[in-house]
Structure 1
Amino acid sequence: MPQLKDKVAYVTGAASGIGKEIATLFAQEGAKVVIADLNKAAADATAAELKATGAQAIGVAVDVTNEEQVNASVEEAVAAFGGIDVLVSNAGIQIVHPVEEFEFADWKKLLAIHLDGAFLTTKACLKHMYAQGRGGSIIYMGSVHSKEASVLKAPYVTAKHGLIGLAKTVAKEGGSKGVRANVICPGFVRTPLVEKQIPEQAKTLGISEDDVVKKVMLKETVDGEFTTTDDVARVALLFAAFPSNALTGQSLIVSHGWNMQ
């Protein structure tokens, strides 16, 4: 039997990259999937791809930093599918500069997308999870940078650390109602977000792009390999489908051994 049969999953940043991989796996496992993305055309295209396989999916437009848009998109999802069982807060960006050169506007923009977005989608979905009386699973997309730091990434590291605090609080508040909250902490995944960083870091650090990959990004892994979107999606499925409160308030690192706990 599919692990997410008839569950409704709302996934942000789901039109591409890790979010799309998670949405696709969830659909394969029987979920009704809401592709929530800033790019409505891309969200609709991804939803169409999933529907072509026989899955139930819709695309919704959302800027996760906009409370009205978040609330409206969640209500649209509930109207279409009857509830919300799983939230995957995945939307994110990356901006790299040393702290002394970081523009305050860029700092605020990154924190808004990662932290405000996680808070607003959580608040909107929790209301329905509590009212439904069947619990739910909230999954935050953290990073190895939820556990440690890298140069040039002050707001990203700050935001990813913050998601662990939010998840722990939601886990404690939601436990009596069967709502779990956990964080996935991937290593480097070769998405467009990471591809963009390679030349940026090469320029800033004064090294070759090949050295950025081998000596910066993958230096601490056990096998010199990138984490894949499939790796991350499988952990998301574990969190989404887990049957009890035994697995809540946790953060799981998926990084080819880059960070071990």
Structure 2
Amino acid sequence: MRLKDKVALVTGAASGIGKEIARTFAREGARVVIADLNLDAAEATARELNETAPLGAFGIAMDVADEAQVEAGMAKVVATAGHLDILVSNAGIQTIAPLDEFDFGKWKRLLAIHLDGAFLTTRAALRQMYRQGTGGSIIYMGSVHSKEASLLKAPYVTAKHGLIGLAKVVAKEGAKHGVRANVICPGFVRTPLVDKQIPEQAKELGISEDRVVKEIMLKDTVDGEFTTEQDVAEAALFFAGFESNALTGQSLVVSHG
């Protein structure tokens, strides 16, 4: 098992990509902390994982954009599991609108979750990892929008580009402590977040939902296929299980080309 005896904190892990990463890490021997805004959902996911997880999992409530909740959550991780080896900063939302009509409050909320959340969880993780002196891995959930842009997604594209910059800084600062930082950049994954976007984009662009999928979401893939949650989880496992600083400060696109 590639993550035997490791402790991994995954944010936004009660559903979707985060849940699949948590499941994969548990299968590979990690004790997984399911952090989510919805505590009931986090605990339900932990119970599900505990049916097969060797080290067990547990859920905590965490609004990643709330400093006090992040600090309290990290304290609970350490008190319960004893240490922290892996952080997956995965929590995120999406809001669709033309830039000239974008609500400022929605802009700030999206950036707070994606960027403030990444900063706050990273800072808490680094403090713990530095104290331990045993290194660690920080993985950010970017997007193909970390590399390019799409219509109607200004704050999301901005935030996902920002995560690459943050990871590069963490890679440099964390190197002497054995802490690595990398970014996964998935293509479109058929999660509730993406399913919600399809009719929204169809309405804004005046085209059918089928055209949104074929001509916007999947038009640049090699085979017209969505990326799967398991594809992304395997990339996370690769980053988490890579033990040297030879792989840090990098971004990996997982998108069917």
TM-score interval (norm. to shorter): over 0.9
**In 2, distance between residues paired with 1:46 and 1:185?**
24
**In 2, distance between residues paired with 1:159 and 1:234?**
23
Equivalences for 1:21-60 in 2 at 5 Å?
A: 21-55=20-54, 56-60=56-60
Q: Is the 8 A contact 2:29 2:53 kept in 1?
A: no
Q: Alpha-carbon deviation of 1:52?
A: 1.3
Give the structure 2 partner of residue 246 of structure 1. Answer: 246
**In 1, distance between residues paired with 2:14 and 2:256?**
25
Aligned residues: 256
Q: Alpha-carbon deviation of 1:54?
A: 3.8
Q: Alpha-carbon deviation of 1:13?
A: 0.2
> Between the two proteins, what is the percent identity of the paired residues?
74
Give the structure 2 partner of residue 95 of structure 1. Answer: 95
Give the structure 2 partner of residue 10 of structure 1. Answer: 9
For residues 127-178 of structure 1, the C-alpha deviation after alignment (integer angstroms, 9 at most, x for no partner) is 1111111100000000000000000000000000000000000000000110
Q: Alpha-carbon deviation of 1:4?
A: 0.3
What is the letter of the counterpart of residue 84 of structure 1? L
Structure 1 moving runs of 4+ over 6 Å: none
Q: Alpha-carbon deviation of 1:216?
A: 0.7
3-state DSSP of counterpart to 1:94: coil
**In 2, distance between residues paired with 1:54 and 1:152?**
40
3-state DSSP of counterpart to 1:9: strand
Q: Alpha-carbon deviation of 1:34?
A: 0.2
Question: TM-score normalised to the size of structure 2?
Answer: 0.99
Q: Structure 1 127/201 Cα, relative in aligned 2: closer, same or farther at 3 Å?
A: same
Q: CA RMSD for the aligned pairs?
A: 0.5
Structure 2: tracts of 5 or more residues without a match? none
**In 1, distance between residues paired with 2:50 and 2:75?**
21
Q: Structure 1 207/51 Cα, relative in aligned 2: closer, same or farther at 3 Å?
A: same
Q: Is the 8 A contact 2:93 2:113 kept in 1?
A: yes
**In 2, distance between residues paired with 1:26 and 1:74?**
19
Give the structure 2 partner of residue 227 of structure 1. Answer: 227
Q: Alpha-carbon deviation of 1:243?
A: 1.3
Q: Is the 8 A contact 2:27 2:53 kept in 1?
A: no
3-state DSSP of counterpart to 1:130: helix
What is the letter of the counterpart of residue 157 of structure 1? V
Structure 1: tracts of 5 or more residues without a match? none
**In 1, distance between residues paired with 2:4 and 2:53?**
13
What is the letter of the counterpart of residue 44 of structure 1? E
**In 2, distance between residues paired with 1:14 and 1:33?**
10
